[in-house]
Structure formats: C-alpha cells, structure tokens
Amino acid sequence: MQSIKVVELNTLPLTKSKEILLDELRSKYLFCANEILSVLKQNYLLTRKELHNLTYSKLKDETKLFSQLIQACRREVWSRRKKIKNGFVRISPKFENRGFKTFFTDRGTFCIKFSVFECKKVVIPIKGDGAYQRFGSFLRDGWNFKTIMIVENQIKVVLKKDFPESVEKNVIVGADIGSVNLATITVYDSVKKKILRQLYLGRDVAVRQRKYVMRRAKLQSVNNKKYLMRLKSKQSDFVKTRSEQIAWEIVRIAKQFGAMVAIENIRNLRSHNKGRKFNGLVCRIPYAKFFSALNNICIRESIKTIKVSPRHTSQECPVCHMIDKRNRKNSVFKCIGCGRTLNSDRNASLNIALRAVKTVFQPNLSNQISGSGVRVNEPVSPSEVLVGCL
C-alpha cells in the first residue's frame, strides 16, 4: 500500500527577474488549462489521447512551455473536467520528475531548478526553517518525491512511500463523523459479537469552529479583509492539526485492540433542501481532511481501512435493523420497533462497524434495494433457499 502526503517548503526572497518569470509561467499555465477545458467542452466524447493530439502542438507553439508542463496540465484538466464549469481561475504549475532538479549550493542552501520554458530555467532557493527540517526527516525515513507544485511563495512537494499490506482482523473500530463530535468510535468484536469500547473524540473542534464563525461574521461586517484572511488561515490550521491528532488517537486504539478501521464514504453532504443553517453545520465538518489524515496514518501503521455506505447509519437499529426517521430525535436514538435507546452518534458508529463486518467477512451477501436506494430487508445469500415465496 502506498501513502501520499504533501509537504510545504518556504522559499527565500526571489529576485525581480525570477518573480516576473514565475508570473509568466502561472499565466501561461492557466491559459493552457482553460484552452484544454474549452476543447473538452466542445466535445465530451474525446479520449485522453485525442485530446492530447488536438491541443499539444498548438499550446506548445503558443506558450513555449516545457513539454512536460503541458502534459501535466492536460492530465489535471482531465481529472477535474466534471467539477470545473466556468473555467479555471487559479491552477498551480505541476512539475514531474523530468521537469526539476535538486542540488545544494556552496553555502549549503537547498535549491530546486525548474524547467519552465523551452530554453529557460529558474532556480528557487529553499528556506532552511522547520518546514525544511521536517521535509528532510521524511526523506531520511524512506519517503521519495517525483512531483513538485509551485503555489505562490511556497513549494509543495508530493511525498510517497510504500508500506506492507494490512491484514484482515476480527475486531473493527467504527468511526462516525459528526458536527458535534468530530469522531464517535465503537470498538466491536465480530467473533464475540460484543462492544469492547465506545468513545467521543474531538468535541472541541465544533466549539472552536463556532467561535471562528462568529468572529469572521463580525470582521465581515466591518469589511476587514486582512484579518479575515488571517483568521481563515488560523481556522484551517487548527482543524488540520486536530484532525491529525484525533486520527492518531483512533489508530492508537485500533493497534491496542488489533483492529481494522471503518468509516463512512460520505459524498455531497450539502443539501439545498434543508436550509442555510443545516448547510452551515455540514460545511464545518472537516470530513476530507480527517479522512485523508486517518487513511494515510492507517497505511503507515499497516491497518486496513474500510469504507461503508453512510445511508441511514443514524436511523437504523443495530438490533432489529428497522430504519425509520422517528427512531432518532436530535442526539437520542430510540427504536420504535424494539425500544432500544442510546446516543445517536454511538448508534451510528456501531452500525458502521456492523456494516464493515458484512463487507469484509460476508462478501457474497447481497441486499434487496428499493428504487430510492433504501434497504428493504436483511442481507440474503444467493445460495439460500427462500421459503414462502409462492
């Protein structure tokens, strides 16, 4: 299994000529992205090879960019073609292994030489601060890099490392991501069919997020853009740090019990039908950052990660499997069928663990699904004889 992480490196002050050259690189790279996207919009049936044949020679003559940059731009546009509707506003130049070279100066300064245009190269010196020391520690641990991006006054390096494959185990840690508690976990033993432990993690994230939102609202009222940007950056750093810390805590618990980790495969959380308040709560759930941190740490620690369907995890009873909206009222879950009562987040994390058990240990079972995607019965084995169908 391969783990990927991005490390940011700060640059030393650049000369005026280098800044002009990098500005020209960004503008022409953005021009290439929008030109490729416009060709794709005219004909969505184009394959990647046909798109390359239609755009490469033309963009090469017009922009004089290094050939690898045009190919990297085409690949990025292709991967994001369904999400970008009105064209790119900003896009970072991406250099593959052939487009850059690293070296040290006589003074010991770490530098990166980029091939930007056909006959032009630019050397960017890297600041020897804590970020550089962290980057060096990763390289000493066996990480390697073949991709670098230039983002404003920073260099982003994509690090990769291969880790041994994880082994399937009987104990599963189900993690439910929520707006009140960042993660509610249930440690479930699939052999003994017993809950070993349940925990709430990251309640402080929602509290701090709410404070940041209130402060940003006050700053927006006086139109203070400088402090707004500073506060936004501070909020992002806090959420990223806490997501990493909570992910490490979940991995520590998984290692303690010798367990796998299960998490919901959440997509398109925001709903336009439930109002602005609901969407505001949903937007403050850092699912992408948290899952990225958890997945990378699990790969490094050789722990298997399982994605399960998030549908009705907080409305389904883990005992009788009845699904009904009336089962949940705010933070309390009470099944109208069997009367089981518990916290709704704990119930959701238990359901995630149970679904992971079926995914891993019962792969041949299939569900009967209604037209709206709702499960209407328990899993049925294809080899099982159904009685009473006549």
Least trusted range by pLDDT, from 25-29, 160-164, 180-184: 160-164
Per-residue DSSP letter, 226? H
218-227: long-range contacts, CB 8 A cutoff, minimum separation 24: none
pLDDT at 180 > cutoff 90: no
- pLDDT for residue 372: 42
> Cα dihedral angle (342, 343, 348, 351), rounded to 10 degrees?
-20
Q: What is the mean pLDDT of residues 249-254?
A: 93
DSSP lists the bridge partners of residue 58 as none
Residues 122 and 21 in one domain: yes
Residue 94's pLDDT band (cuts 50, 70, 90): very high
Residue 36 is assigned to a structural domain of this protein: yes
Q: What is the pTM of this model?
A: 0.70
Dist CA 381 CA 390 (whole Å): 19
Give every strand in the sheet of 341-343, ordered side by side.
328-329, 332-334, 341-343
pLDDT at 387 > cutoff 70: no
CATH number of the structural domain spanning residue 334: 3.30.420.140
Residue 125 is assigned to a structural domain of this protein: yes
What is the crossing angle of helices 67-79 and 16-42, to 10°?
50
Residue 245 is assigned to a structural domain of this protein: yes
- Give residues with Cβ within 8 angstroms of 316, minimum separation 6: 322, 323, 327, 347, 351
Residue 348 is assigned to a structural domain of this protein: yes
H or E, element range at 331:
none
Could you tell me where the beta strands, DSSP code E, fall in the chain?
2-10, 94-95, 100-104, 110-117, 120-125, 144-151, 154-162, 171-177, 183-189, 194-201, 259-264, 305-308, 328-329, 332-334, 341-343
Residue 127 is assigned to a structural domain of this protein: yes
Residues 157 and 212 in one domain: no
Dist CA 323 CA 347 (whole Å): 12
In degrees and rounded to multiples of 5, residue 342 shows phi and psi of: -165, 175
Per-residue DSSP letter, 375? B
Residues 122 and 197 in one domain: no
- Per-residue pLDDT of 53-70, as tens digits, reads 999 999 999 999 999 999
Residues 120 and 208 in one domain: no
- Per-residue pLDDT of 1-18, as tens digits, reads 788 888 999 999 999 999
62 vs 284, which has greater pLDDT? 62
Residues 203 and 74 in one domain: no
Q: What's the sign of the alpha-carbon dihedral 342, 346, 351, 357?
A: negative
Residues 200 and 344 in one domain: yes
Residue 315's pLDDT band (cuts 50, 70, 90): confident
Residue type present at position 164? P
Q: Where does residue 349 rank: exposed (0-12), middle (13-18), buried (19+ CB within 10 A)?
A: buried
Pairing, β 154-162 against β 2-10: antiparallel
Residue 378 is assigned to a structural domain of this protein: no
* Count of CA atoms in the C-beta half-sphere (13 A) of 207: 4
Q: What percent of the chain has a predicted confidence (pLDDT) above 90?
A: 37
What is the domain range of residue 206? 171-361
pLDDT at 379 > cutoff 50: no
Total structural domains within the chain: 2
**Residues 162 and 8: beta-carbon distance below 8 Å:** no
Place of tokens 């995630």: 352
